[in-house]
């Protein structure tokens, strides 16, 4: 279990992380969201023990993280962190040995992982000869080959096609099922929604929204009504509490300020020819944009 | 952690040694050194003559100058010049003149006693010309004095070299002024490989750290081993590499001299015996038991100091261009040390050069040279060693803190500003 307790990190007068706390249980995937420069990398570096926080602490299984614990942590950085002149085998051996593994064990597990990602033939190829997607797979393998207790994934799906995203998702779920605590960061909210039970959104180092994803969505006042059928959009827009009305994939999407507005919209259209009326939670993307108040990638 | 340190060191060392370029470079170096030392034998093997004989044919129109000229040339003890007298006509001799021949025509002159003409097919080397002209001057002086009826015993006394009894009161000082000349020719040759190894060292440590940083693998490495372990492993690997390379260079030299001794009867391009005699006469050999251990300590400490600075500076960089910019001052300091060492004899033991000999980075070049020249004492050398130890200690203490801050700094600002900022934050 990872416990991040009230960490604060300052660079001069700039506060990179401001009183951040969260807990990731064993076998749980936790989402750490924020726009660029929100403090995610600093948080990861503090968790990895690369940076000392000004205050607060980070515990892994109730113990402070230092170099005697980092063998239990895996880290996929946002940018590729591979020595491109090395071969796949040399690269994995290098990182895995730094994690305290023995050569025989590394070779055995490497073969299994290469087979999982269907890149067995690339074992002796130089990293620089691989495509971006395959480099990303190698980076992922290097982070998980030692079967970490804590895995930090910063944009792990970068450069992967849908088939390989599926393979990597399976691997992540498998690790989760084995009890690994996973911190996940991505700009693609659908991945967060797919994976994370809990999350925190950082803005300028400060957590502005945190908790269980389901609860966050439920407690979020704004909802979306999906309507399929014949409606007068101008009439609906006049209803107090309706934010906008749009058309997506043949369905009207009516954004409303709160649940009370849903019944007013229904009252307005109930006599029309309607084949679908569904009130749903807003997407994480909407919540993120609303929370951050800016544009993200 | 200890295991990881040795793993990183071994990996870093293997990256340098287990490469085809290391083998190719060393094969080229070995061949170059062996060829250079045995160049005269090689030239002789292909029918050439490295130390070609110069045949001086003298036409003496005075009938009295030849014997004096011959005796003067013989007194120089130069085996490369042979002198013969000829009675043939100058035109015939000119026609038959070969490349290595020199025709000297000596004529009487009513005012200047003697005049001479030196004829050759091509230009001759400066040393041979100097010997010939000096011998002609001596001949002229002798002929002049004879013609003025100076007593032969007086003439002999005048011609004899002055007897100098050289006394130097400072016992530590060299008893041979020629030592300055020797040092200015031998030391640059000895120091040059060391100078090049330092350049190698700086580029290896910096380049490797820079590569790990630019590929972002540094974050993964540093999350598994401390920055201190990481830097020290690089320093150890690079230092072991340059020591191995130094030993290999010494081995190539030994092989070259062994080959030279076994295959050649001709005079070698490097007159080891002559150099050793000169060093022995000047008292340097008596100082070797002090010079060698202290210099070795200084070399090792300087290697560590240079590699520490290279590593610390490399931690500030985000690309190889930044590192090139940062390593320029180190290169300039090294170059200054090399030239100061070469020119050490010129400073004649001034306070300036004595103080410079204490400065880390420079001391390893200057201190041993000054000691051999007798311009500083063993106490000064020991002061240089102590200053160097303190410097390395300060680098380890403060530099490692800067390294820890700099190693994860990927901002693209001015590298020197980043260095200053990292130093500030490390405190």
Same domain, A47 and A185: yes
For residue A188, is it within any domain? yes
Same domain, A144 and A274: no
Residue A138 and residue A130 in contact, taking contact as beta carbons nearer than 8 Å? yes
Contact criterion met (CB < 8 Å) for A73 and B219: no
Same domain, A235 and A111: no
Residue ranges making up the domain that contains A29? 2-217
> Chain B interface, mutation test: which of A11, A14, A67, A101, most B Cβ atoms within 10 Å?
A67
Q: Which of A82, A97, A98 sits opposite B215 (nearest CB)?
A: A82
Question: Which ranges in A88-188 belong to alpha helices (H)?
Answer: 88-98, 103-116, 132-144, 162-177
For residue A61, is it within any domain? yes
**Residue in chain A lying closest to B404 (CA):** A50
Q: Is A280 helix (H, G, I), strand (E, B) or coil?
A: strand
On the CB side of B221, CA atoms within 13 Å amount to 30
| Number of domains making up chain A | 2
Report the pLDDT value the prediction gives residue B153, as an integer from 0 to 100: 79
More confident residue, B83 or B191: B83
Looking up residue A234, the CATH number of its domain turns out to be: 3.30.70.980
Q: Which domains does chain B have, with CATH numbers?
A: 2-40+176-426 (no CATH), 54-159 (3.40.190)
Residues of chain A in contact with residue B408, where contact means CB-CB under 8 angstroms, are 45, 50-51
Contact criterion met (CB < 8 Å) for B215 and A94: no
Q: What is the average pLDDT score of chain A? A: 87
Same domain, A16 and A127: yes
Contacts of B288 (CB under 8 A, 6+ apart): none
Same domain, A270 and A158: no
The answer on pLDDT for B178 being more than 70 is no
The answer on pLDDT for A265 being more than 80 is yes
Quick check: A296 contacting B, CB < 8 Å? no
Same domain, A175 and A142: yes
Looking up residue A205, the CATH number of its domain turns out to be: 3.40.50.300
The answer on pLDDT for B185 being more than 60 is yes
Residues of chain A in contact with residue B211, where contact means CB-CB under 8 angstroms, are 83
> Chain A interface, mutation test: which of B222, B224, B230, B319, most A Cβ atoms within 10 Å?
B224
Identify the CA nearest to B271 among candidates B286, B261, B285.
B261
> Chain A interface, mutation test: which of B21, B217, B233, most A Cβ atoms within 10 Å?
B217
Contact criterion met (CB < 8 Å) for B216 and A79: yes
The answer on pLDDT for B267 being more than 70 is no
State the nearest Cα–Cα gap between B215 and chain A, in angstroms.
6
Same domain, A17 and A79: yes
For residue A251, is it within any domain? yes
Report the pLDDT value the prediction gives residue B166, as an integer from 0 to 100: 67
Contact criterion met (CB < 8 Å) for A51 and B408: yes
Kindly indicate whether the ipTM for this predicted assembly is greater than 0.85, answering yes or no.
no
For chain A, percent of residues with pLDDT exceeding 90: 40
More confident residue, B405 or A127: A127
Same domain, A276 and A194: no
For residue A297, is it within any domain? no
Same domain, A178 and A236: no
pLDDT range class, residue A295, cuts 50, 70, 90: very low
Report the pLDDT value the prediction gives residue A229, as an integer from 0 to 100: 84
Q: Which of B212, B216, B223 sits opposite A70 (nearest CB)?
A: B223
Same domain, A261 and A205: no
State the nearest Cα–Cα gap between A18 and chain B, in angstroms.
19
Same domain, A256 and A115: no
Contact criterion met (CB < 8 Å) for B223 and A48: yes
Burial zone of A185 (CB within 10 Å; 0-12 exposed, 13-18 middle, 19+ buried): buried
Same domain, A113 and A185: yes
State the nearest Cα–Cα gap between B224 and chain A, in angstroms.
6
State the nearest Cα–Cα gap between A89 and chain B, in angstroms.
14
- B→A interface, C-beta within 8 Å: 1, 3-4, 7-8, 11, 211-212, 215-226, 408
Residue B242 and residue B16 in contact, taking contact as beta carbons nearer than 8 Å? no
Average pLDDT of the segment spanning A41-68: 89
Tens-place pLDDT, residues B305-314: 999 999 998 9
pLDDT range class, residue B181, cuts 50, 70, 90: low
């Amino acid at each position: 279990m990872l416990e991040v307790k009230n960490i604060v990190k300052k660079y001069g007068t700039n506060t990179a992380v401001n009183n951040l706390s969260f807990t990731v249980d064993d076998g749980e995937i936790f989402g750490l969201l924020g726009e660029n420069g929100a403090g995610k990398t600093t948080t990861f570096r503090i968790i990895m023990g690369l940076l000392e926080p000004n205050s607060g602490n980070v515990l892994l299984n109730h113990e402070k993280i230092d170099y005697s614990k980092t063998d239990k942590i895996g880290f996929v950085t946002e940018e590729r962190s591979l020595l491109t002149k090395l071969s796949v085998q040399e690269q994995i051996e290098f990182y895995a040995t730094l994690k305290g593994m023995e050569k025989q064990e590394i070779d055995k597990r490497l073969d299994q992982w290469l087979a999982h990602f269907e890149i067995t033939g690339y074992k002796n190829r130089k990293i620089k000869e691989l495509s971006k997607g395959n480099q990303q797979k190698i980076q992922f393998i290097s982070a998980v080959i030692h079967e970490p207790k804590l895995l930090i994934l910063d944009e792990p799906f970068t450069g992967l096609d849908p088939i390989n995203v599926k393979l990597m998702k399976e691997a992540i779920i498998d690790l989760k099922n084995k009890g690994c605590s996973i911190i996940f960061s991505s700009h693609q909210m659908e991945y967060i929604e797919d994976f994370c039970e809990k999350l925190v959104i950082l803005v300028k180092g400060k957590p502005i929204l945190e908790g269980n994803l389901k609860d966050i969505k439920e407690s979020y006042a704004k909802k979306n009504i999906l309507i399929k059928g014949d409606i007068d959009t101008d009439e609906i827009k006049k209803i107090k509490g309706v934010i906008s009305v749009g058309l997506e994939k043949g369905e009207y999407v009516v954004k409303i300020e709160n649940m009370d507005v849903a019944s007013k919209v229904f009252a307005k259209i109930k006599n029309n020819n309607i084949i679908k009326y569904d009130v749903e939670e807003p997407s994480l993307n909407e919540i993120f944009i609303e929370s951050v108040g800016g544009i993200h990638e | 952690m200890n295991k990881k340190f040795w793993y990183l060191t071994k990996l870093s060392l293997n990256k340098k040694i287990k490469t085809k370029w290391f083998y190719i470079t060393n094969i080229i170096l070995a061949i170059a050194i062996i060829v250079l030392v045995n160049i005269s034998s090689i030239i002789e093997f292909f029918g050439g003559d490295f130390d070609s004989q110069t045949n001086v044919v003298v036409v003496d129109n005075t009938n009295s100058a030849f014997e004096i000229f011959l005796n003067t040339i013989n007194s120089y003890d130069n085996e490369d010049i042979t002198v013969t007298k000829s009675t043939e006509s100058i035109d015939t001799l000119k026609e038959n003149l070969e490349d290595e021949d020199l025709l000297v025509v000596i004529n009487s002159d009513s005012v200047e006693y003697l005049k001479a003409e030196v004829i050759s097919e091509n230009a001759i080397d400066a040393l041979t010309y100097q010997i010939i002209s000096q011998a002609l001057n001596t001949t002229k002086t002798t002929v002049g004095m004879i013609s003025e009826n100076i007593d032969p015993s007086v003439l002999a006394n005048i011609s004899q070299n002055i007897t100098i009894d050289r006394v130097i009161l400072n016992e530590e000082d060299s008893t041979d002024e020629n030592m300055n000349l020797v040092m200015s020719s031998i030391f640059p040759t000895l120091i040059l490989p060391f100078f090049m190894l330092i350049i190698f060292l700086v580029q290896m440590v910096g380049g490797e750290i820079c590569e790990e940083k630019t590929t972002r693998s540094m974050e993964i490495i540093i999350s598994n081993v401390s920055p201190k372990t990481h830097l020290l492993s690089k320093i150890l690997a690079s230092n072991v590499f340059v020591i191995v390379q130094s030993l290999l260079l010494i081995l190539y030299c030994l092989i070259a001299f062994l080959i030279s001794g076994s295959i050649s009867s001709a005079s070698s391009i490097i007159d080891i015996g002559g150099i050793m005699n000169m060093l022995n006469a000047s008292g340097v050999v008596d100082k070797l038991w002090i010079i060698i251990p202290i210099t070795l300590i200084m070399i090792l400490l300087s290697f560590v100091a240079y590699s520490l600075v290279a590593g610390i500076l490399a931690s500030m960089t985000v690309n190889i261009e930044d590192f090139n910019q940062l390593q320029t001052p180190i290169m300039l300091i090294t170059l200054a040390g090399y030239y100061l060492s070469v020119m050490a004899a010129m400073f004649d033991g001034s306070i300036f050069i004595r103080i410079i000999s204490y400065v880390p980075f420079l001391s390893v070049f200057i201190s041993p040279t000054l000691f051999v020249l007798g311009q500083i004492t063993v106490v000064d050398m020991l002061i240089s060693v102590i200053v160097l130890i303190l410097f390395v200690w300060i680098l380890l203490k403060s530099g490692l803190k800067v390294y820890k801050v700099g190693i994860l700094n990927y901002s693209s600002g001015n590298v020197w500003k980043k260095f200053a900022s990292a130093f500030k934050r490390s405190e």
